[in-house]
Structures are given as structure tokens and as C-alpha cells.
A and B are shown apart, each in its own frame.
Chain A
Amino acid sequence: MSKINFYLLEYAFSYIVRHKSKNIFIVTVFTLLVALLSSLFFVTSSVTHDLKERIAYKSDIFIQNYKAGMPAAINTKLLDRLLEIEGVTGGKVEVKGDYYFRAKDSNFYLYGVDAFEDQEDPLIAKLLQKYDLDDSEMLVSDNVQKIMSQAYYKEYFNFIKPDGSLQKVNIKDSFDVGERVELKNLVLLSKDTLRKIFGYRADEGSDITLSVANKNELEFISSKIRLMLPNAKVISKDELEQSYEKLFDYDNGVFLSLFIIAIFTFFIIIYDKANGLSSEEKREIGILKAIGWCVEDVLHAKFYEAALLSFFSFTLGFMIAFVYVFVLKAPLLGAIFTHENMLNIHDFTLGVHIDFSYILLIFLLSVPVYIAATLIPSWRVATLDADEVMR
């Protein structure tokens, strides 16, 4: 078994070509199955990778004030009280929110920054290193700049405040968000200016974020804060991670049902194949035996045949899935994960992040199974006498 027997390989190949219609059918089904499953795995692994990265940039504890079931402004004085908690190593009041620009029917994500505060997000931190923003200036993403310039705002933009008056802010520069599509509508401006735009008082912000050095304490500290602020919503990084995982792990309902259906279809085909060979195939094996092939040779040839077919289909399916997900960005299928959902996540780049353990799973579930399903019935026939088979 150490060397590949090229004569048998050639025979196996010509066998595949001879039974064209049957084998084309098998290749098609096999390929589609592998393509479907691996594109699902590609989408999930890429999306979870994206989400993990997004969580990594989030602060450890996020506190939002609620009023009448809606997020409300939070008092900045609260931060001083929260910083007194042992274990909290830093924190800041955030001023941020969405601004709806009616003329172009688009939402800008306005984020207030303070040059002398720590930024968790590397993109924002880098921008603040590069630019010195004053109160009348803002930095906008390329996408926002495009939208603004379509509305003829090239040098500045007029934000409409809650009382109907205008707040003019100059556009200092635009930046590229790169892979971070969730920030494609980001606008950075000083906290004080943003407070004016959103109608917050000077001692108000939209939420408070805290950092905790020892992650063991995260849960304890968040429960402490919950006791302290019964009306507020307190979300720790751990909980965020859990809720994301719940949504995107592979035991996700949609995924699992698709997976089960696909696997069952495959096994039905396999069962059908394993259940018996056609009389034509039986006769062929009989002839081979009659001209002097031993059982081993027959099985060898059959093994090559099955391996050729299944490897070819697997690779083809894998490549189709790759192109479908990472080049075409998974039209239709991707929507399962990126559609409106409870976490309010819409945009994904679908970067190439493949979890190879899943690919191995698909491989092991398909290729060896198929090879076995080809070998076993042939073996059963090949052990019989040639005359018995051909009779």
C-alpha cells in the first residue's frame, strides 16, 4: 500500500469517465453539500471573529441610565461615586449617539472625545494622536464625508439641535475606517460640542464606562453597581460576550437544522449506494476477477475511484464556498446572521477567518464515509466467485 499503483489509478479514472452520468450526479450532490456546509461554517467563524474583535475594544463595564424604559442622560457626578468602588481602575463619561440626517436619510454615529482621556478603541485613539480637535471641529469618516458632500456640505456641517437651532461644526478632516465597518458612519467631535447638539446639560452624558483591571472581579463589581443604581442598565464585558456567543455559536437553531438536513440527505445517498451495486457494476467486478485480478486489486481500484471522486468534490465544494463567502460576501445566506437581530448588528466585512476544525469535521463526515460506502459493497461482491457474480 506504500506506493500508488498508477495502472489501477488509471483504471479507476477511466471507470469514472465511463459511468459519466451517474458520477456527475454524485459529484454535484457531494459538492453542493460540502459547499453549503462550509459556507455556513465560514460565515459563522468569520462573524464570530469579527464580534470578538469588537468586544475586545469595548469597555469592561457599561452603565446606562433608563427613564420610562428608554435610555436617558446620565449625570457625570455619578462617575466620581463609581470610581470610589475598589477594583474599578478607571472610567469616563461617554457622550455619543446617532444623529439622523433627513436630507440623505442616513444616520451618523456621533462620538464625543476628550483628548486627555484614555480611548479603548484603537482607531479612535490613533486619530486623536494625529489630530488636535478643538470645539468647533470634527473628524468624519470617508462615508460620512461622502454623504455630507452630496448635500453640499464640504467645509462644515449644520447639526440641528433638539430646540431647532443650528450648530455649525467645521469638518477638519476625513479618515478611513478600514475593516471596521461598524464605524463607517463615525463622526468624532469634542464632548462639549456634542452635548450642545444632543441637548445635554453640561453635567450630563449618554453613558458611563468603567475599566476593571482584574477580570475575576468583573461580575462582583457589576452586581455592586446594580445595587447602587437600581434604575440603570449595567452590562459587563462577560455578559456581552455571552449574549454574542449565544447568538452566533454553531448550536444556533437555523444553522443546526440546516446542518442536520444536509447530513441526512448525504447519508440517504450513501445508504442507497451501500445497499447494493447495480448488476452492471457487479458484472464488471466479475469480469475483472475472471481475467485474474485478486480481491485486493479490485478493492484497490475501487478505493482510488471513491477517493478521486470524493476528494475532487470536497475540494470543489470548499472552493465554491470560499468564493461565495469571502469574494461574493455571502449573498442570501449571510443575511441569516447579519439581518436585524436583537444585538443590532448589521455590518460585517466577512474577512477570511477559517476555523479549520469545522472544515476537518466536514471532511471526516463526508470523504471517509463515501469511500467506505463504495468499498464495502464492492468487497462483498469481490469475495464471491466470478461465475457466481456473472451468472
Chain B
Amino acid sequence: MSLSKLLFLVLIVSANLFAYPNYSHSLKVKKIYPMGEKIFKKRCSQVDVAAYSSYDALLSAIQKSTKCGSLKTAYQEALALYLWDHKSVKKRETNYPSLDVDHKEKCPICGMFLYKYPRWVAMIEYKDGKKYYFDGLKDMFKYYFLHPKGIENFFSRDYYTQETIPLKSAYLVLGSNVYGPMGNELIPFKDKKSAEQFLFDHKGRSIIRFKDVTKATVHKLDE
């Protein structure tokens, strides 16, 4: 093997050593970020991400620094990934309102108590601060078509993760075999990939966006 080839190989290996690792998004969200966040809060809250220009720099700084104590390699990587991915895009805090309802809250359309079906709660927030809660997107849309003015935002829970999501950017699955408290439902998802998986798993008919929902779509669900 010639010297130049060897040099090339060393170059590739060393480049790969610090390169941004190639994990899938769901793996990062479900495993690496929570761990990184815990390490950050427990051990390394003094690390300032803004000071580093690249992921490599951040990782090597974490490896060299003694502030965090001795961390295993997996922990170092988790910490670096968490910090790096949450610095560039300011998504460490997205404060959506909580959809936890109290025992008195009823759906304005069907009159059912909402606390019994916490997974299906949807909410319309009006500009004057009023909030109306519904037991499913279907009833929310019915209300929306009756009172379409002065609306600030729509919220519901992602079916899989149960976190609050704004519905304007959500993907809604129609015609699946999963029923809400009011029967057929539009089922909301934060990203397209999970909506497609749900469509496949639960025999859904189509995926639509918020702006495509019409009166006809909603009323058809009741047939």
C-alpha cells in the first residue's frame, strides 16, 4: 500500500471520528435527546453551545472538558447531539397550551364530559382569550364552521406521542378504523411520516391538511 493511500485512509477515519453521527430522527427524539437533556441538566449546565462553530468542536470540547466529570462516550455523544440540535433551531422550548381539562368541562357541540377522553381533546383559542374544548376534531370543526371569526389557533394532541400540536401544520388522517368518543374522527399527527404509518396500520383512507377540511368532509364522517 502506498503512502498516499494510507494517508487518505487516515484522513477518512479521522474525519469520520468526529462527524455528525447518522442516527434516524425517531431514535434521536426517543432516546438520545432525553438522555442528553438529563446529562445537561444534571452535570453540564454550564456548557455554552453558542460558543462552538461546529458539532465536531462541541463534541471534542465536551470530551476534553473536566467540568462534566468523566462521561462515557455514549453520554458525550448524547449530550453533544442534544445541545447541537437544540441550539441551531430554537426548539428547546415550544410552549403550546396544555390540553388537560377539568371535570366540569363539556364539549359545546355534543355536551359530553371531556375528562373521560383526555386523548381526544381538541381546542380552539380565540383572539379575545376564550378557549373552547372539544372531544375530537370532528366536533371542533363543526364549531369552527359555525363560528369562524376571530380565531387565534387550533390545538390537539398528536395521536402517537400525545403531545400538544398546532393543527394548522398537522396531518389529519381520515377513514381509519380507530374511533374517538364521537365515532369516526380526523386523527391528527405532527409529522407526515407518522401519519402515513398510521394510515397504513389502521386502514385509513386519506391524509389531508387543515386548510383542506370542508363542511362536507366533516359531515361525511357522521354518515
Contact = CB atoms under 8 A, between A and B. Distances in A.
Given A83-B26, A84-B24, A86-B197, A118 B34 contact: yes
Contacts of A217: 159-160
Nearest to B39: A116
Interface in A282-330: none
Interface in B23-77: 24, 26-27, 30-31, 34-35, 38-39, 42, 75
A216 B26 contact: no
Interface in A197-240: 213-217, 220, 224
Contacts of B119: 214-216
B178 interface: yes
A232 B105 CA distance: 44
B30 A90 contact: yes
Contacts of A215: 119
A163 interface: no
A298 B163 CA distance: 70
A214 B189 CA distance: 13
Residue among A91, A215, A216, A224 having the largest count of chain B Cβ atoms under 10 Å = A216
A220 B200 CA distance: 13
A82 to B, nearest CB: 10
Contacts of B26: 83-84, 86
A94 B26 CA distance: 20
Contact of B75 (A84, A88, A116, A213): A116
B27 A80 contact: yes
A88 B162 CA distance: 11
B161 A83 contact: no
A80 B26 CA distance: 9
Given A116-B78, A118-B34, A216 B27 contact: no
Contacts of B171: none
Nearest to A84: B26
Chain B interface mostly: helix
B160 A87 contact: yes
B198 interface: yes
A90 B33 CA distance: 11
Interface in A93-123: 115-118
A277 interface: no
B198 A213 contact: no
Contacts of A257: none
Contacts of B30: 83, 88-91
Interface string B118-141: 010000000000000000000000
A177 to B, nearest CB: 24
Contact of B31 (A90, A213, A214, A224): A90
B201 interface: yes
B178 A216 contact: yes
A277 to B, nearest CB: 55
Contacts of B194: 86-87
B208 to A, nearest CB: 19
11 contacts: A83-B27, A83-B30, A86-B194, A87-B194, A88-B30, A116-B38, A116-B39, A117-B38, A215-B119, A220-B201, A224-B201
Given A80-B27, A116-B38, A118-B34, 6 more contacts: A86-B194, A89-B160, A116-B35, A116-B39, A117-B38, A214-B119
